[in-house]
Amino acid sequence: MMSRGQAAIVLPAPREISFQLPRIGVRHLVVLVFLLAYPWFATPFFTFQIGAQSLALGLIALSLTFLGGYGGMVSLAQITVAGIAGYGVAIFGAASAADTAISLGWPWWVAVLISIAIATVCASFIGWLSVRTEGIYTIMITLAVGVAFYYLCLQNYSVFNGFQGFQRVHAPTVLGINLRDALPFYYLVLFWSLAGYFFVKYLLRAPFGIALQGIRDNPRRMNALGFNVTAHRIAAYAVAGVIAAVGGVLLVWYNGLIGPGSVGTSWIINILVIAVLGGMRHPIGPFLGAIVFVLLQTFAIDLIDRERFNLLIGAVFLVIVLFSPDGLLGWWAGIRARFSTSKFVTPRGGVR
Amino acid sequence: MKRSWKIFWTLVIGLPLAAFAVWGLWDNTRLFAVTFLNGITLASLYFIVAAGFTLVFGLMRNVNLAHGSLYLLGGYLGFLVAQHTGWFVLALAAGFAGAALVGLLMQVSLFRFMPGEDLRQTLVTIALSIIIADLLLWWLGGTVHQADAPELLSGPLRDIPLIRAYSKYRLALLPIGIAIGVALWLFLNRTRVGMMIRAGVDDRAMLSAAGVNVNVLFAVTFAIGAGLAGLGGVIGAVELSMAPGEDVRLLLASLIVVIIGGMGSVVGAALGASILGLAETYGLAYAPTYSVVFTFVILVLVLAFRPRGFLGRPA
């Protein structure tokens, strides 16, 4: 799935082209209108539980897609970065009354900014650690970091409040709008998801993104061309860290709580499942994957025992990895290629 | 690295450790000594599990993230066999055989068809780890299973100077770990199959060209590696206890052991396991809520100065 050869077709476009506005097709408008109109015909349950949760998880998985699909570094610590931001919001901001001994109760915007900054620094640090080795080691080191952070949250009571974590970490009320309500919260998450999506799309056509993809495909050649491979990789971790941190803040507001369970192995793996399920070839992949994941999580109970959800998600993941390494986008590209008469179907697949 | 730098770093790391040891011995000799024993016996368990992990990686470049699940499987099988037959040796055999069989199945039915795709193999092992863990949870429930030590090793060993009494079983883990390490070393260095495995680690393509059936060799190695996880599981079922979540704990331990010691090196696994076991138990004894931090700091230091681990070689 790491697409060594064929995904290298990102041509070094001239700068004036890469900064032009992307072509806007009918389907882009349809999707946008649908996303904006969605809460007006969906029930609050669908708006909040399905819509907002998918977008927030998609945003975190987007950071993994950016790192894995375009940087060639599959980091399993993205939920850890998101969790650090979430813990930050709970620790610097306000949590439930029982936790005030730890929570500092600063204004929400200060807490959010500091949390995102800290999470980004941590993400860069994780990046600095893992880019020292190559390839498959990345997955091991980031997994070790993620699991270690989980155990730290579990053990430590003075900062992370141990097993209990923090409850009642809610979105604030801004300008008289309570962001906890389904409708405003959906639009908040939608805004940041779109921002993340277009930011990544922009970045991939910018010189930094082109260089990053060059490094993914052949680090030695890029090094010979004078690019600082390590610096680009760490910068990619930092960028992905910002995205994951924003997603983490939104996720903690969605859940209303954060604890070791929110950053444990099951979530480390779930983020990977979401990214791989959607496909790592295009920034839309993680959002598709998140929608499928959340729908499965919500409605699989009707088909199978609630307890057996992990079995289902494991089986789905296995099937995807075995039969469609490029995820749903890969399937879509395959179907398009089969029914298309044109010879020029891009192997990148998916929606452009 | 220059000699003077070596001395410098030995002092920077060694002096605080020496100071801590002197303070620990002076402050509470018994606690310090018992913690030491706990540390090296835990290290022995970590070594057994991580040796299998590193063996599989060294030959096949397969990061088997289902290794923790195989540990759990072995532990449960061992527990059930010990409960029904009362024979601990039988339990050990069952744990080894059960995990080895599952490992063999994984290699023969899945990984054989994706040679060289190490990232995809890793993703498959993650999927398998979710599935195995959930199947075990389904089968045996979420309760904690604690196996009893065999008759011969149950109860404490009394009248040891300084620490008075210590669990016989835990003490026995040390020779068991050393025995397994030596056996593994002899197997790899003194037998024909071991020679092939070592040759495969160095150059897979050449070994295949020399007429060795690499697929069979891979299957054997995977079975042994998985079996060691299962064997560790049986030992851990008595030493620690078996419950959902233990798989993650041992997977983390294996990862850190091989990152510290160096991937693919059995001696490195022994070194890494000793460091991790001691760091973890001393951390738990002297700074309970931050013990993971010590592990993490060691990981960071090793990666900062020896990115491939102490005894690792370039991939």
pLDDT in tens, A57-79: 999 999 999 988 888 888 888 99
Do A311 and B299 make contact, defined as CB atoms within 8 angstroms?
Answer: no
Region B6-24 average pLDDT = 81
Determine the Cα–Cα distance for residues A130 and A133; give it in Å rounded to an integer.
6
Longest dimension (CA), chain B: 62
ipTM over the 0.85 cut-off: no
Closest-approach residue (CA) in chain A for B309: A133
Q: Best interface-test mutation with B: which of A124, A129, A151, A268 has the largest number of B CBs within 10 A? A: A151
Round to whole Å and give the CA distance between A243 and B139.
Answer: 40
Q: How much is the pTM?
A: 0.83
pLDDT in tens, A171-209: 777 777 777 777 788 888 999 999 999 899 888 888 898
Collapsing DSSP to helix, strand or coil, A127 comes out as helix
CA dist A343 → A213, A302, B152 (Å): 25, 43, 74
State residue B47's pLDDT score: 92
Could you report the per-residue pLDDT of B120-167, keeping only the tens digit for each? 888 888 889 889 888 888 888 777 777 777 777 777 777 677 667 777
Contact A3, A341 (CB under 8 A): no
Task: Give, rounded to a whole angstrom, the gap between the first and last alpha carbons of chain B.
Answer: 21
Q: What is the pLDDT of residues A234-282, one digit of tens each?
A: 999 999 999 999 999 999 988 888 888 888 888 888 898 898 888 888 8
Q: How far is CA A337 from CA A341, A344, A346, A348, A349, in A?
A: 8, 9, 9, 11, 9
Looking at the DSSP bridge assignments, the partners of residue B164 are B160
User: Which residue would you say has higher pLDDT here, B224 or B263?
Assistant: B224
3-class secondary-structure state, position B164 = strand
Q: A53-65 and A285-303 helices cross at what angle (nearest 10)? A: 130
The helix (H) or strand (E) run that includes residue A35 is: helix A26-41
Instruction: Give A121 or B64, the one with higher predicted confidence.
Output: A121
Task: Please tell me if residue B305 touches chain A, with a CB cutoff of 8 Å.
Answer: no
Q: Chain A 52-81, CB below 8 Å of chain B: which residues?
A: 74
Among B65, B124, B251, the residue with its CB nearest the CB of A318 is: B124
Count of beta carbons in the 10 Å neighbourhood of residue A343: 6
Choose, out of A159, A296, A318, A320, the residue to mutate when testing the contact with B (most B CBs < 10 Å).
A318
* Residue A174 β-bridge partners: A177
Identify the band that residue A1 occupies on the pLDDT scale cut at 50, 70 and 90: very low
> If you average pLDDT over residues A113-126, what whole number do you get?
92
A100 touches chain B (CB under 8 A): no
Q: Please write the tens of the pLDDT for every residue from B236-273.
A: 888 777 778 788 888 888 888 988 888 777 888 899 99
Hey, CA dihedral for A49, A50, A54, A56, is it positive or negative?
Answer: negative
Strand boundaries in chain A, DSSP class E: 173-174, 177-178
Q: Return d(Cα A330, Cα A326) in angstroms, integer.
A: 4
The whole-number pLDDT of residue A98 equals 57
Asked if B292 lies within 8 A of A148 by C-beta distance, the reply is yes
Question: Which pLDDT band holds residue B109 (cuts at 50, 70, 90)?
Answer: confident
Please state the domain extents for chain B.
Answer: 28-244
pLDDT digits (tens, 9 = 90+) for A317-349: 888 888 877 778 878 778 877 776 655 545 544
- Say what the pLDDT of residue A3 is: 42
User: From the CA of B130, how many Å to the nearest CA of chain A?
Assistant: 5
Q: Is the pLDDT of residue A35 over 60?
A: yes
What pLDDT, on the 0 to 100 scale, is given for residue A241?
A: 93
In angstroms, the CA B147 to CA A45 distance is 46
Cα separation, B204 vs B214, whole angstroms: 8
Question: Which chain A residues are Cβ-neighbours of B290 within 8 angstroms?
Answer: 152, 155-156
CB contact under 8 A, A272 and B251: no
Angle at B81 between CA B45 and CA B40, to 5 degrees: 10
Per-residue DSSP letter, B155: S
Q: Kindly provide the b/e burial profile for residues B14-37, where b requires at least 16 CB atoms within 10 angstroms of the residue's own CB.
A: eeeeeeeeeebeeeeeeebbbbbb
**Out of A1, A147, A307, closest to residue B119 by CB:** A1
- Among A47-61, A217-231, A305-319, B210-224, which is the least confidently predicted range? A305-319
Using the Cβ of A195 and the Cβ atoms of chain B, whether some distance falls under 8 Å is answered with no
The per-residue pLDDT for B99 is 92
Q: Closest Cα of chain B to A213: distance in Å?
A: 18
Q: Which of B102-111, B159-168, B238-247, B299-308 has the least mean pLDDT?
A: B159-168
pLDDT at A96: 64
Residue A141 has pLDDT above 70, yes or no: yes
Containing H/E element for A7?
A: none
Mean pLDDT of B285-309: 80
> Is pLDDT at B112 greater than 90 in this prediction?
no
Q: Which of A273-282, B1-10, B280-289 is the least confident region?
A: B1-10
| Sign of the alpha-carbon dihedral angle for B110, B116, B120, B124 | positive
pLDDT reported for residue A4: 44
pLDDT of residue A352: 36
Q: Which residues of B touch A158 (CB under 8 A)?
A: 289
Cβ separation of B127 and A139 shorter than 8 Å? Answer: no
Structural domains of chain A ordered from first start: 45-339 (1.10.3470)
Please, what is the average pLDDT of chain B? 83
* CA angle, residues B164, B167, B170, in degrees to nearest 5: 130
The pLDDT of residue B230 is 92
The pLDDT > 90 percentage for chain B reads 10
Determine the 3-state secondary structure of A347 from DSSP.
Answer: coil
CB–CB of A148/A154 below 8 Å? no
Per-residue model confidence (pLDDT) at position A6: 43
Give, in order, the Cα–Cα distances in Å from B167 to each of A216, B41, B75, B171. Answer: 52, 11, 20, 6
Q: What is the pLDDT averaged over residues B99-127? A: 85
Contact at CB, A318 and B296, closer than 8 angstroms: no
Percent of chain A with pLDDT over 90: 16
Contact criterion met (CB below 8 Å) for B227 and B97: yes
* Percent of chain A residues topping a pLDDT of 70: 87
Q: Does A314 touch chain B (CB under 8 A)?
A: yes
Contact A133 B130 (CB under 8 A): no
pLDDT at A80 over 90: yes
Binary contact (A156, B120; C-beta < 8 A): no
Report the candidate in B309, B279, B282, B273 with the shortest Cα–Cα distance to residue B48. Answer: B273
